[in-house]
Copies of this chain bind each other. A is one copy, B any other.
Amino acid sequence: MTNPYDILLECSKKAALYQTTSMLLAWDQETYMPRKAIGLRSEQQQLLAHHIHQEKTSKRFAKALDALIDLETGTIKSKELSPQRRAAVREWRRDYVRAVKLPSSFVRQLTEATSEGQHAWVDAKDRSDFKAFLPHLKKILTLVRKKADILGYDDHPYDALIDEYEPETKTAELTTLLGRLKIPLTTLVKAIGAKKEPETDFLRKNYPHAKQMEFGKMLLKKMGFDPSFCRLDESAHPMCLTMHPTDARLTTRIYPNNPIVNILSVIHEGGHGLYHIGLPEEHFGTPLGEAASYGIDESQSQMWETRIGRGLPFWEHFYPELQSYFADQLASVPLEVFYPVIN
């Protein structure tokens, strides 16, 4: 009989092949897919979502999992597992307990709604037409509320949902945490509002699209990325889809009369990317090769964007470079004028 841990590895890696294929389809949808192809794309995504769900809830997977951990209580049964493997088994159980509650038909339905909704959102955003997106949003919200009901919760429906992104976190904790920030943040915003606004006229010049893209790629290179395992493209909303440490797809958004959006997007997504390409390749397709949580993931992008990319030392180094890319626009703008604007 195959070792139960090996069965879990096999199923989990197979699920990862479907997941990364689905990610590539999503990347393509956001970057290069012709608009009319959305119908086929949605069907492909539903089929992949079905396989991911099936792989994660199969009887074979459940049986192997049950041999190593108590599915009910989460107590590890096997005494021979290394601490690493115990962690993987614990995460697999978390994932299984959630996934097995969701009927396969519901998973397909939600995938269809989000795939088509995302597409409708891009289109509606282009035309600033919220009404066109509203029916999609309503449909997705209804399904997501249903998801919370299916998954179950003690206190608040959002508890069931946030658990997917930030394991074990409760809405009540977040309310306290964010509540504590309310007064200091309001005070801060008021203090900022009372100050003189920085001069931003220099932003309103034309910063050519291709040059902005080049500058973004240069920044990524300096952050440690290389085209042999990373790309930078454009999408309606910047994102980082890392399928594997050898395939990181970052996107940015370029406004010809505001170069800062692109710069901060690239640094932010680069922060996500560095975290993901740094995950251990040998654990690809298992919880040990995945981001720990969305909070941790976002901490990496925010650290890069706000702590590094908005810092004076960063711009003391990179501002002359930016000026050389955009001499006509920035040669006469000193760092002292630029720096407050990026903050």
Contact = CB atoms under 8 A, between A and B. Distances in A.
Interface in A5-48: 14, 17-18, 20-21, 24-25, 28, 32-37, 39-41, 43-44, 47-48
A229 B17 contact: no
A231 B31 CA distance: 12
Interface of A is mostly: helix
Nearest to A46: B17
A43 B17 contact: yes
A217 to B, nearest CB: 13
A25 B21 contact: yes
Contacts of A44: 17, 20-21, 24
Interface of A: 14, 17-18, 20-21, 24-25, 28, 32-37, 39-41, 43-44, 47-48, 227-231, 233, 243-244, 246-248, 284
Nearest to A28: B24
Given A21-B47, A24-B25, A37-B244, 13 more contacts: A17-B40, A17-B47, A21-B44, A32-B32, A32-B233, A34-B229, A34-B247, A35-B227, A35-B228, A35-B229, A37-B243, A37-B247, A40-B243
The interface centre, meaning the residue of A21, A41, A228, A244 with most chain B CB atoms within 10 A of its CB, is A21
28 contacts: A14-B47, A17-B40, A17-B43, A17-B44, A18-B47, A20-B40, A21-B48, A24-B25, A24-B28, A28-B28, A32-B32, A32-B231, A33-B247, A34-B228, A34-B229, A34-B230, A34-B246, A35-B228, A35-B229, A36-B246, A36-B247, A37-B229, A37-B244, A37-B246, A39-B246, A40-B243, A40-B247, A41-B247
A284 B39 CA distance: 12
**How many copies, total?**
2
A231 to B, nearest CB: 6
The interface centre, meaning the residue of A14, A24, A231 with most chain B CB atoms within 10 A of its CB, is A24
Contacts of A229: 34-37
A113 B280 CA distance: 27
A247 B43 CA distance: 14
